[in-house]
Amino acid sequence: MSTRLKFALILSAAILLLAPMASAQDADDVTVFMTFLPSVQYAPMYVGLEKGYFAEEGLNISLEYGDEPVGVNLIAAGEMAYGVVSGEQVIAARGFDRPVVFIYEWFQRYPVGVVAPVNSGIEQVEDLRGRAVGLPGRFGASYSAFLALLDAHGLRESDLQLHEIGYNAPEVLCLGAIEAAVIYVNNEPLQIRNLIENGECGEITDVLVLPVSDAVDLVSNGLVTNEATIASNPEQVAAMVAAFDRSLKDAIANPAEAYLLSAPHVENLPLGPALQEALESEAEREAAFLADNPNLDIAAQAERRAQLIERLSQQFSDDELLQLRVLLASIELWDAEQPGFSEPSTWQTTVDVLLSTGFLEAEIDIEAAFTNAFLPSTAVMQP
């Protein structure tokens, strides 16, 4: 461990000891459900844990990972109070009278899309007709979003040759077993390009991505709770939202720091000694810059992120920087003028899509499915 990192950890510990927060015996033990597996894509949650933001709000957070439908059921039943869930899963649950409520919109753009080799003849969604397309499975957010993409372009599932391949799109596409794949746009395309760079992707020289968000504006991932928690403990809900909002903004503003703080939570996250030292230096540089320039707009922050990866690319291999690129691509999906805010029209669009694709049998009360009342900018709590 470098001297700089040791100092940073000691300083962080001192700050946490001095910061006004609830005592350990007063903190609420809260388990947050996270989908899939630990990943740098969950950096804001790790930032909040490592920097003590949740603790300062009186929350003793633990994370539990699993399949999204399981998490929805646990939250709806009150067996767990919070989770990270996609908006269309909330709508589907409300369609079955499960009382889950979306309280903070994390992803501002839907992360699902289709990837295809540039030499495949697939240049637009309509070109998928008759093609062999891989998808994780006929379940969850990626499947419903893919059907929404097809529907927006006048296609049906039966117009394609669909193959359930699990979360193995890079390997299966590079083997030539499929012609395109349903993927998360902030992850698998980067993995495929890395395989191409290493000469491990057959004759594929590059890929193009067709994002769902270009065709239809769906509600994506966010923080979810249940009606009972809102009714019985609105102060805790507000505390959860406030801590996460602060953590998300920090991750967006200082991705080098966010990557470092994710390392204890993500097994095998690339972080050799040289990369760690470089990221520590970058994190310190950005923290000092932000202290002098606290009101950077979105464009300015994006430019600084581009400069960060450009500097690091001159020192480290694509393999070493792959997960940092995933984090930076994820940030592009999170960033917004009003983080956390849910647009009612986007919810209605998502309901309409789910109705047209058969995931929802009847209209739901949209106003009951989400709330902006707990956002720090509104400072309004429901009774």
198-216 pLDDT, tens digit per residue, is: 999 999 999 999 999 999 9
Across residues 214-222, what is the average pLDDT?
95
Q: Give the Cβ contact number of residue 65 at 10 Å.
A: 15
- CA-CA distance, 52 to 234, in Å (whole number)? 21
Across residues 29-40, what is the average pLDDT?
94
For residue 271, which of 91, 28, 47, 2 has the smallest C-alpha distance? 2
Percentage with pLDDT > 90 across the chain: 87
Q: Do the strands 28-35 and 161-164 form a parallel or antiparallel pair, or are they unpaired?
A: unpaired
223-280 pLDDT, tens digit per residue, is: 999 999 999 999 999 999 999 999 999 999 999 999 999 999 999 999 999 999 999 9
Cα distances from 176 to residues 132, 197, 200, 203, 251, in angstroms, run: 10, 17, 12, 9, 37
Tokens of 379: 């400072």
367-381 pLDDT, tens digit per residue, is: 999 999 999 975 443
Domain with CATH 3.40.190.10 in the chain: 3-109+220-334, 112-214
Report the pLDDT value the prediction gives residue 27, as an integer from 0 to 100.
86
State the Rg of the chain over Cα: 21
For residue 234, which of 91, 366, 242, 89 has the smallest C-alpha distance? 242
Report the pLDDT value the prediction gives residue 21, as an integer from 0 to 100.
43
Report the pLDDT value the prediction gives residue 358, as an integer from 0 to 100.
86
Spell out the residues 6+ positions from residue 370 whose beta carbon is closer than 8 angstroms to its own: 87, 90, 101, 102, 103, 105, 219, 342, 347
Question: Between 3.10.105.10, 1.20.140.150, 3.40.190.10, 3.40.50.300, what CATH number should domain 112-214 receive?
Answer: 3.40.190.10
pTM of the model: 0.89
Cα distances from 279 to residues 1, 194, 235, 286, 313, in angstroms, run: 13, 21, 36, 10, 12
Report the CATH fold assignment for 3-109+220-334: D-Maltodextrin-Binding Protein; domain 2 (3.40.190)
Number of helices (H), then strands (E), belonging to the chain: the values are: 16, 10
